[in-house]
Amino acid sequence: MSERMNYLSAVIVPLIVASTAVGLGARAAPGPASPAPPAQQGSGEGANALCPVMTDEAIDPEIFTEYQGRKVYFCCRRCLRQFERDPQQYVVNLAAFSSQDAHAHDQSQPQRPDADDAPAQTGHEHEDGEHEHGGTDGHAHDSPEDSSERAEPSDHDHAHDHHGSSQLPAFLQWLGKFHPPSVNFPVGLLIAAALAEMLFMASRRQMFSFAARFCVWIGALGAVVAGSLGWLFGGIHLTDEDWIMTTHRWLGTSTAVFALVVLVLCEAHHRQPEIQARKQWYRGALFLSVAAVTATGFLGGAMIYGIDHYGW
């Protein structure tokens, strides 16, 4: 009877702990930002309704920066950082600044004489040479195709930066969308396993050891699944334009592999618990995995809220 109670506790305790951790993670996970109506987007005059970096994306009213006395709004923190690196590349997509530049250009042009005062001309001549588009007078004009290419930078592809690589099949891109919710399971379960192992060390009650073993199994397998979905979500490439995403990509991959190492050490310890070296290796690796999943989760949140989100 006592052994049966221990096994029941080994299943019930981790399920309760894991459900609580996943619930807290789901509550903290940001949902898709619903675009506010144009009248409520931004508080400044001429506030943009579309992101200047991703010109087809609605803005998030909480993500903005000050540029030349105006507030510029973005769809995500990543676009904000990219704009701050080179604002001149994207300011052409802002109607407020475009109209301001056009008005300043009109004011700087000299007034043309009236038709009665203008000398009669038989043709359109230039004494200094022909005026050609992109000629030698230094005043090059862009064609509509060139303007559209400059307005939509080629190095910031929306499918690549926000929803995975466009080279992947549509089904794999759809699977990648499950990466954000799936990371809650390995995070919560590995932390629960470490907590159960600490309770076993303090109380010597066998049910906590069973609970830790159960959480390690599910957490390690969940880490592999979440890490694989992360590659589908972020695209199959080694580096990203944003150092935060690159670090998150490789730290998350390393954490998934390390979780499998923790699982192997856990099984080796439980199969021969009398060997003290295996116990120490297992516990040390388990506690390190908690630090790894915490750091990976922090960087994942930093891609959305910014690296200084938890600043005091």
pLDDT at 207: 96
Same domain as 84, residue 191: no
d(CA 122, CA 110): 23
pLDDT at 110: 52
pLDDT at 82: 80
Report yes or no on 128 lying in a domain.
Answer: no
**Of 156, 191, 222, which residue sits at a domain end?**
156
**Of 95, 130, 156, which residue sits at a domain end?**
156
Same domain as 291, residue 263: yes
- Domain range for 237 is 9-31+165-305
pLDDT at 107: 52
Residues 164, 235 contacting (CB under 8 angstroms): yes
- The single residue listed with the structure tokens 């089904």 is 171
Q: What is the mean pLDDT of the chain?
A: 75
d(CA 295, CA 289): 10
Report yes or no on 100 lying in a domain.
Answer: yes
Query: What's the number of domains the chain is made of?
Result: 2
Same domain as 92, residue 71: yes
pTM above 0.85, yes or no: no
Same domain as 181, residue 209: yes
pLDDT at 104: 53
Same domain as 261, residue 189: yes
Q: List the chain residues with pLDDT less than 50.
A: 1, 8, 21-44, 113-166
Report yes or no on 2 lying in a domain.
Answer: no
Report yes or no on 310 lying in a domain.
Answer: no
Same domain as 172, residue 98: no
Beta bridge partners of 58: 50
pLDDT at 255: 97
Same domain as 175, residue 27: yes
N-terminal to C-terminal alpha carbon distance within the chain: 52
